[in-house]
Amino acid sequence: MIFDKEGNTTIVFQENISLNTFLVNLNNAYDKIKHDHIVVNLFSFEKLSSNDVLEFLDLSNKHRGARKSFVLVTDKVNYDDAPEEICLVPTIQEAKDIIEMEEIERDLEI
């Protein structure tokens, strides 16, 4: 697992491992990055489904509950097929944009 920290945002890249192993590793490393906004780059996975995206729901809810952004990045799952509770975008730039918008909303208490 590779962490790329940019300011108060950490982008998490995965190596060539299974989704389940990646989730275990991410949960184990969570304490190191829990104070940052988290972008999870899933481009290395050749196949992903909306059910695979659901595997991130608990971690996403936990992180968002701490008033931090949690964004998944992949173009293999249609945005409309993802659950509403999970933030899913097709590019890293869009993930950064989402985080910026969510920070503004938190600052304005929207």
Q: What is the pLDDT of residues 4-53, one digit of tens each?
A: 999 999 999 987 788 899 999 999 999 999 999 999 999 988 888 889 99
Q: Length of the chain, please? A: 110
Helix (H) or strand (E) holding 45: none
Residues 6+ apart with CB under 8 A from 41: 11, 12, 13, 14, 73, 92
Structure token digits, residue 32 = 């190191």
Q: What is the pLDDT at residue 50?
A: 87
Q: What is the pLDDT at residue 62?
A: 94
CB 50 within 8 A of CB 82: yes
pTM for this predicted structure: 0.92
Q: What is the pLDDT of residues 42-97, one digit of tens each?
A: 998 888 888 999 999 999 999 999 999 999 999 998 888 888 889 999 999 999 99
Tell me the DSSP string of 50-98.
Answer: HHHHHTTHHHHHHHHHTT--EEEE-SSS-GGGS-TTSEEESSHHHHHHH
